[in-house]
A and B are shown apart, each in its own frame.
Chain A
Amino acid sequence: MIISNLLKIAYRSLSKNKLRTFLTMLGIIIGVASVIAMLAIGEGSKQNITASISSLGTNSVMIMPGAISQGGVHLEAGSSQNLKKEDADIIAQRCEDVKFISPVVQRGSQIIASSQNWHTMVYGVYNIYFQIRNMTIENGSGFSESDERSAAKVCVVGQTIVKNLFGEGNNPIGELIRINRIPFKIIGVLEKKGQSAFGTDQDDVILAPFSTVQKRMLSTTNLSMIIASAQSEELMDDARNEITQVLRERHKLMASQEDDFTVRTQSDLSNIFGSVSKVLTILLASIASISLLVGGIGIMNIMLVSVIERTREIGIRLAVGATSQDVLIQFMIEAIFISFLGGLIGVFIGVIASGLVAQFGGWPISISVSSVLLSFFFSAVIGVFFGWYPARKAANLNPIEALRYE
């Protein structure tokens, strides 16, 4: 038997029943499209989280006041305000694995520039903070040593601040803005970073010298946190241990007492969020796989019904000399074709749907070639798997009985 003839036979049969063919295909289309969209969404959010974590800096280590409660949730800031600038200084002196360090203070402030006003968080940091956090100054410069020493009223602003106070594209270097009524001169503008995976606008920020914010804007010596960076990625855990030891000593904690601070490295964060997004991806993928499976069962269902409905047709084919194998192959080709084309359309719709999610939902997506190949391959396998039984059934019909079927 020539396979090209059987292809022709299967093609004729499918094209003569376009609606049935399409309905059978629909299950696979929806299945494949949802697998692709779900994987794209899962993968996209994973990548976004990874990007956000790396935007926290390079090898950065964060030291926050207060202990972690059970379950790993950090207690509300203020539960124990016990980090001081001197803590940062002593870590800088004594911890060899720490490369850079900066204390951080922050205050939500009202900003006014000429007629515009805006509310944002103002951070007081050392100049080295930019390096620790991988922040690039696009325009102008950071703070100098003397700015820090003299508590100079200068600041570096993010793009959102520029946009809201001066309008997009304007150069605000040298302009004066009032932060809680104190006039500050803008000396630098940060490069745009966009939204983080956690939904915060990373460009809605003002940075000023540490001493300026602490002395001129705050009435306390408590720090919000200390941010440091380890000498290298491998040394992050060592840095954490050193810092813990030094701080416990300085805070005069007994062996039985828990830490009154929390040290978090960047890899801790990637591990936490990495596993969260993995769970998310697995969850989404399994929901989608179930719909693909349901699509496969749909193929089997319609193929089985059509074997019964087409009993007479099969009888005619057998009567004019088709072998059982010819009938088997014809039905298999039909099933595979349906799942193949359905898979193709599904990939197409899945990619478009992912694009729409990204466009209108503002959700990050990432379509990987492997997810496309995987779902496509899976749909073809489903065609073979669920097409086999009905095809077998059709092939084993007895010609006389099939012809007599009403």
Chain B
Amino acid sequence: METHISVKNLTKVYTMGDNVVNALGGVSVEINKGDFVAIMGASGSGKSTFMNIIGCLDLPTSGEYFLDGVNVETLNKDQLAGLRNKKIGFVFQSFNILARTSAIENVELPLLYDGSVNNKDRRERAFEALKSVGLADRIDSMPNQLSGGQQQRVAIARALVNNPVVIMADEPTGNLDTRTSYEIMEIFQKLNEKGSTIVMVTHETDIAQFALSNILFKDGKIISNIKVANRKNATEEFKKMEELKTETI
């Protein structure tokens, strides 16, 4: 099996004056092609710190990290930017899409920083990405004309437009209601079925049930890594929801 992410003894220490926080205390894990991992844990357990490091947005204090065979430790700032641009798609809790910028222009953004993609391909790929998250008819909409769920779908389209090795999502459903969260999970499951590797942070147990495996963080360490036994299927969950609705009426 192809290993996409391999970390060994990853630590991260934040020092603020006299205050030293061991956000990560030696994390080792391997994530393979086709995995759909949900990272769980209490608030402050180090989930975001871990995600930022494997997303190449931040550097560890110590430890080894290989992304798609590349030793991230040896890279400089610009090479890290290149890695983020070509191998990683990041989805944030607070969407983080550009204001006053249409959906398609937001999705195009990573490709604009990739010199090897020409204008025509960029448009096409951005459109395809938007189509795959069900926003083909909203490409020219501005963020303020989109609902939270739609904005997050734009962010997902942006994360997958560069065909990344891994899609990383830090609490992607944290700002969304249950129904919309399930919509996002449906998209993730479909992407995963088509071969995308996904790492997702969540603190909601029911959301974690859509993943293939769950990693549990506690005080900056992984305390368990298990396969999901009764995996939920988002499409079916929707059906159940609809039935429930009609019953109530």
Asked if B232 CB lies within 8 Å of chain A CBs, one says: no
| A1-24 with Cβ < 8 A to chain B | 1-2, 5, 8-9, 12, 16-17
The answer to whether A321 and B96 touch across the interface, beta carbons within 8 angstroms, is no
The answer to whether B77 and A321 touch across the interface, beta carbons within 8 angstroms, is no
Binds B, one of A42-50, A309-317, A367-375: A309-317
CB distance from B160 to the nearest CB of A (A): 12
Contact mask B78-100 → A, CB, 8 Å, 1/0?
Answer: 10011111100010100011111
Asked if A319 CB lies within 8 Å of chain B CBs, one says: yes
Asked if B238 CB lies within 8 Å of chain A CBs, one says: no
Within the assembled complex, what's the spacing in Å between the Cα atoms of A313 and B52?
18
- Residues of B close to A320: CB separation below 8 A: 84-85, 90, 109-110, 113, 158
In the complex, residue of chain B having the shortest beta-carbon distance to the beta carbon of A321: B85
CB distance from B57 to the nearest CB of A (A): 5
Within the assembled complex, what's the spacing in Å between the Cα atoms of A321 and B161?
13
Asked if B58 CB lies within 8 Å of chain A CBs, one says: yes
**Residue from B99, B112, B114 whose CB has the most chain A CB atoms within 10 Å:** B112
The answer to whether B78 and A323 touch across the interface, beta carbons within 8 angstroms, is yes
CB distance from B92 to the nearest CB of A (A): 7
The answer to whether A321 and B52 touch across the interface, beta carbons within 8 angstroms, is no
Asked if A134 CB lies within 8 Å of chain B CBs, one says: no
- Residues of A close to B77: CB separation below 8 A: 323-324
Asked if A29 CB lies within 8 Å of chain B CBs, one says: no
Known: A12-B105, A16-B100. Is A319-B90 also a contact (CB below 8 A)? yes
The answer to whether A1 and B98 touch across the interface, beta carbons within 8 angstroms, is no
Known: A5-B113, A316-B96, A321-B81. Is A400-B101 also a contact (CB below 8 A)? no
Mostly, the A contact residues are helix
The answer to whether A1 and B82 touch across the interface, beta carbons within 8 angstroms, is no
Within the assembled complex, what's the spacing in Å between the Cα atoms of A380 and B167?
43
Asked if B115 CB lies within 8 Å of chain A CBs, one says: yes
Within the assembled complex, what's the spacing in Å between the Cα atoms of A9 and B114?
13
The answer to whether A16 and B101 touch across the interface, beta carbons within 8 angstroms, is yes
The answer to whether B85 and A5 touch across the interface, beta carbons within 8 angstroms, is no
The answer to whether A403 and B101 touch across the interface, beta carbons within 8 angstroms, is no
- Residues of B close to A322: CB separation below 8 A: 81, 85, 113
In the complex, residue of chain A having the shortest beta-carbon distance to the beta carbon of B88: A321
| Number of residues of chain B lying within 8 A (CB) of chain A | 29
| Number of residues of chain A lying within 8 A (CB) of chain B | 25
The answer to whether A1 and B115 touch across the interface, beta carbons within 8 angstroms, is yes
CB distance from A361 to the nearest CB of B (A): 44
In the complex, residue of chain A having the shortest beta-carbon distance to the beta carbon of B109: A320
Known: A324-B78, A400-B52. Is A319-B96 also a contact (CB below 8 A)? yes
The answer to whether A319 and B112 touch across the interface, beta carbons within 8 angstroms, is no
| B172-224 with Cβ < 8 A to chain A | none
Asked if A148 CB lies within 8 Å of chain B CBs, one says: no
The answer to whether B92 and A403 touch across the interface, beta carbons within 8 angstroms, is yes
The answer to whether B98 and A316 touch across the interface, beta carbons within 8 angstroms, is yes
CB distance from B137 to the nearest CB of A (A): 22
Within the assembled complex, what's the spacing in Å between the Cα atoms of A322 and B108?
13
CB distance from A349 to the nearest CB of B (A): 29
Within the assembled complex, what's the spacing in Å between the Cα atoms of A368 and B243?
81
Within the assembled complex, what's the spacing in Å between the Cα atoms of A312 and B95?
11
CB distance from A73 to the nearest CB of B (A): 67
Asked if A131 CB lies within 8 Å of chain B CBs, one says: no
Known: A321-B85, A323-B77, A325-B78. Is A315-B96 also a contact (CB below 8 A)? yes
**Residue from B86, B90, B96, B113 whose CB has the most chain A CB atoms within 10 Å:** B113
CB distance from A249 to the nearest CB of B (A): 89
The answer to whether A2 and B92 touch across the interface, beta carbons within 8 angstroms, is no
Within the assembled complex, what's the spacing in Å between the Cα atoms of A313 and B101?
11
Asked if A65 CB lies within 8 Å of chain B CBs, one says: no
CB distance from B228 to the nearest CB of A (A): 29
CB distance from A148 to the nearest CB of B (A): 86
Asked if A155 CB lies within 8 Å of chain B CBs, one says: no
The answer to whether B110 and A321 touch across the interface, beta carbons within 8 angstroms, is yes
In the complex, residue of chain B having the shortest beta-carbon distance to the beta carbon of A17: B100
- Residues of B close to A316: CB separation below 8 A: 96-98, 109
* 28 A-B contact pairs sorted by A residue (CB < 8 Å): A1-B115, A2-B115, A8-B112, A9-B112, A12-B101, A17-B100, A312-B96, A313-B99, A315-B96, A316-B97, A316-B109, A317-B113, A318-B84, A319-B55, A319-B57, A319-B84, A320-B90, A321-B82, A321-B85, A321-B86, A322-B81, A322-B85, A325-B78, A326-B81, A326-B113, A399-B58, A403-B57, A403-B96
Q: 18 extra interchain contacts, Cβ-Cβ under 8 A, other than A5-B112, A320-B90?
A: A17-B100, A316-B98, A316-B109, A319-B57, A319-B96, A320-B84, A320-B158, A321-B82, A321-B114, A322-B81, A322-B85, A322-B113, A323-B81, A326-B113, A399-B57, A400-B52, A400-B57, A403-B57
